[in-house]
Structure 1
Amino acid sequence: MLRRGFLSVRSGLTDDDVRKSAAGLAVRALELPELAHARSVAAYVSVGSEPGTLALLDALHARGVRVLLPVLLPDNDLDWGAYEGAGSLAPVRHGTRMALLEPVGERLGPDAVRGADVVLLPGLAVDGRGMRLGRGGGSYDRVLARLERTDADPALVVLLYDAEVVERVPAQAHDRPVHAVVTPSGVRRFR
């Protein structure tokens, strides 16, 4: 029910709202010291009314950062491919879901995320503890568990709209807190 509420608010955003927020998100995210020093960043391509990521991906790529983007596997786990600019993406439909933009090049395997200095995570909300509410598919829960099992310690950052930073979201034993949330108006750290 909570997820539906956040998705409903997002569906009311105009293309102009999403575009303006994406510009603000890129500016704020690029100010993060973690991204300023990153050699490799695992990110994602926003779809629909999600907080926009393409401007940020392009800026990181222009800096010479290796940007890894997810490829959704049939079991909802994520493989990874390198972002080489907007021309390196293709729409891929997974069943009846909305088409996702995925990298067209070589597949690097699910463990490629372990080499990232920063992991930019999608979400619907984050709370004051840094707990992230995802869409419920479990893809990024698997990514976070993989990172934890291998002692990889990248900075975990969620990109959201301002109103999606809330007091509390439900958390389960397997959920892991993030280190920061970036919104169009600023950054909040949790660690």
Structure 2
Amino acid sequence: MEFVRTVIKNEGTKAELRRSFLAVRAGLTIDDRAAAEAALARRALGLPELAEAGTVAAYVSVGSEPGTRVLIDALRERGVRVLLPVLLPDNDLDWARYDGPGHLVRAARGLLEPDGARLGPESVTSAGAVLLPGLAVDEHGLRLGRGGGSYDRVLARLALAGRAPARVVLLYDSEVVAEVPAEPHDQPVDAAVTPSGVRRFG
């Protein structure tokens, strides 16, 4: 997978970059998104990090995000315990087990969340792999998120607990770029999965 070197420049603010990537996503057709979702699932299911994980912390894609529904259903069918996030009022994340598409409810900000028992924010530390949403990743593995800070807290919680699950971001091909603006608290991911391939970092 080649990096796109013309998309990101450091002088762009994170907010501007987010708007740019979201605009590109908004232009994708339903067929584009469905094809990308199927390809992402195939790529991700081939990762040894997911094959070896008894528990995977994931999320339910919404809108024009790279699709995760096919992937999380396939993981569940494999017998993997899939944890999905529940957004808390302070933007932190609680977690609950995914029991299938019939057990998802519409929540704040249009998110889909599991309807099962809440397991607590610390339950993410039981995961052998964590699937992260994002808008882009650069050649150092630094992820550009949506700006809410929820997954920064997740990554900090894992570090504090001394846990190092595989951290994997799911993106479209054009969202693997040369550089994104970084802040001191930013932590790199281990891999990016796009419809056309897998990129591993350091």
In structure 1, the residue matched to 2:3 is: none
Number of residue pairs aligned between Structure 1 and Structure 2: 187
TM-score by length of 2: 0.92
Aligned equivalents of 1:87, 1:171: Cα separation in 2: 39
In structure 1, the residue matched to 2:82 is: 67
In structure 2, the residue matched to 1:132 is: 143
Q: Which amino acid aligns with 1:13?
A: L
What RMSD over aligned residues (CA atoms) do the two structures have, in Å? Answer: 0.5
In structure 2, the residue matched to 1:54 is: 69
Q: Gaps spanning 5+ residues in structure 1: where? A: none
Deviation, structure 1 residue 19:
0.5
Aligned equivalents of 1:170, 1:157: Cα separation in 2: 19
Structure 1 residue 13 corresponds to structure 2 residue 28 = yes
Aligned equivalents of 2:173, 2:22: Cα separation in 1: 14
Structure 1 stretches of 4+ moved >6 Å: none
Given candidates 150, 171, 181, the residue that maps to 2:192 is: 181
Seq. identity, %: 69
Structure 1 residue 44 corresponds to structure 2 residue 59 = yes
In structure 2, the residue matched to 1:113 is: 124
Q: Gaps spanning 5+ residues in structure 2: where? A: 1-15
Deviation, structure 1 residue 109:
0.3
Per-residue deviation, residues 118-172 of structure 1 (Å, max 9, x unmatched): 0000000000000000000000000000001111110000000000000000110
Aligned equivalents of 1:88, 1:64: Cα separation in 2: 17
Aligned equivalents of 1:152, 1:114: Cα separation in 2: 6
TM-score by length of 1: 0.97
Select the structure with the greater relative contact order (CA < 8 A; seq sep ≥ 6): 2
Per-residue deviation, residues 72-102 of structure 1 (Å, max 9, x unmatched): 000000000000110111111x2xx3x1100
